[in-house]
């Protein structure tokens, strides 16, 4: 199973409830959160603080997020659910082991480099130190990334096994909640359209003010 935290471009028409996304708008704004609802015209997301934001898809440049994980019923497994099964065991182990291995290789490389240069003892020690620390840092980061990926894969496996349990039931949204959410997203979309219209009117008014001034100067 290959499931990393790489951010992928997502299809707006394929967004699912509880899916983690980062949305970039035409205004250059980036908003991260969890999809609460989406349709062909807009998407409603909730960020970590609980703030709701409705965005018109016509004003969206890109939608990115981790590869969606689906269970046997085709229902999305949310990031929060995956994280509840996640541990940092592999991340810590890989980081420590990787750091030791890479640090050792950096130490050897530093020794060989100092021997080839043939400079003073002080400079040799500096070269060896730099080589060791570079190897330790670089190797630690690379191995830690690999460990984190394995931790995520293991968490996904446990989440799917949990959902496959005999007593697991899919929690479907109540119809009343669905209607309330749709009303909410429509209100926020209408509000945004109203603001955009007001901005356009202000820009038009500013343009009308500038035109007479330019005419007066030309006379």
Whichever domain contains 37, its CATH number is 2.30.30.100
Q: Which domain holds residue 5?
A: 1-68
Residue 108 sits in the same domain as residue 154: yes
| One domain, residues 104 and 158 | yes
Task: Compute the radius of gyration of the chain from its Cα atoms.
Answer: 27
Same domain assignment for residues 92 and 41: no
Quick: pLDDT tens for 36-69: 888 888 888 888 888 888 888 888 999 998 887 8
Same domain, 89 and 153: yes
Residues 105 and 141 occupy one common structural domain: yes
For 104-145, what is each residue's pLDDT tens digit? Answer: 555 555 555 555 555 545 454 544 455 555 655 665 666 667
Helix axes 121-163, 89-117, angle to 10 degrees: 160
23 found inside a domain: yes
CA dihedral 95, 101, 102, 108 (to 10 degrees): 160
Residue whose tokens read 């997301």:
45
Environment class of 63 (CB within 10 Å of its CB; exposed 0-12, middle 13-18, buried 19+): buried
Q: Are residues 48 and 89 in the same domain?
A: no
Count of domains for the chain = 2
In a domain, 41, yes or no: yes
pLDDT digits 0-9 by tens, 162-189:
776 645 555 555 555 566 667 777 777 7
Q: DSSP letter for 141, please.
A: H
* 3-state percent helix, strand, coil for the chain, nearest multiple of 5: 60, 15, 25
Mean pLDDT of the chain: 71
* Residue 12 and residue 48 in one domain: yes
In a domain, 87, yes or no: yes
């Amino acid at each position: 199973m290959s499931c990393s935290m790489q951010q992928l471009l997502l299809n707006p028409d394929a967004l699912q409830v509880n899916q983690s996304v980062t949305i970039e708008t035409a205004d250059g704004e980036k908003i991260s959160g969890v999809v609460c609802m989406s349709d062909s015209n807009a998407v409603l997301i909730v960020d970590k603080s609980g703030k709701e934001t409705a965005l018109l898809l016509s004003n969206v440049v890109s939608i990115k997020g981790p590869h969606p994980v689906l269970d046997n019923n085709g229902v999305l497994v949310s990031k929060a659910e995956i994280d509840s099964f996640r541990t940092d065991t592999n991340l810590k182990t890989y980081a420590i082991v990787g750091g030791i291995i890479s640090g050792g290789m950096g130490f050897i490389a530093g020794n060989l480099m100092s021997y080839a240069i043939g400079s003073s003892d002080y400079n040799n020690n500096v070269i060896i130190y730099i080589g060791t620390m570079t190897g330790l840092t670089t190797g630690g980061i690379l191995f830690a990334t690999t460990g984190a990926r394995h931790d995520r894969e293991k968490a996904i496996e446990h989440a799917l096994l949990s959902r496959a349990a005999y007593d697991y039931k899919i929690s479907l949204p109540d119809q009343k909640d669905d209607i309330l959410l749709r009303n909410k997203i429509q209100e926020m979309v209408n509000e945004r359209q109203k603001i955009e219209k007001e901005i356009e009117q202000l820009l038009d008014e500013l343009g009308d003010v500038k035109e007479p001034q330019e005419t007066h100067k030309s006379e």
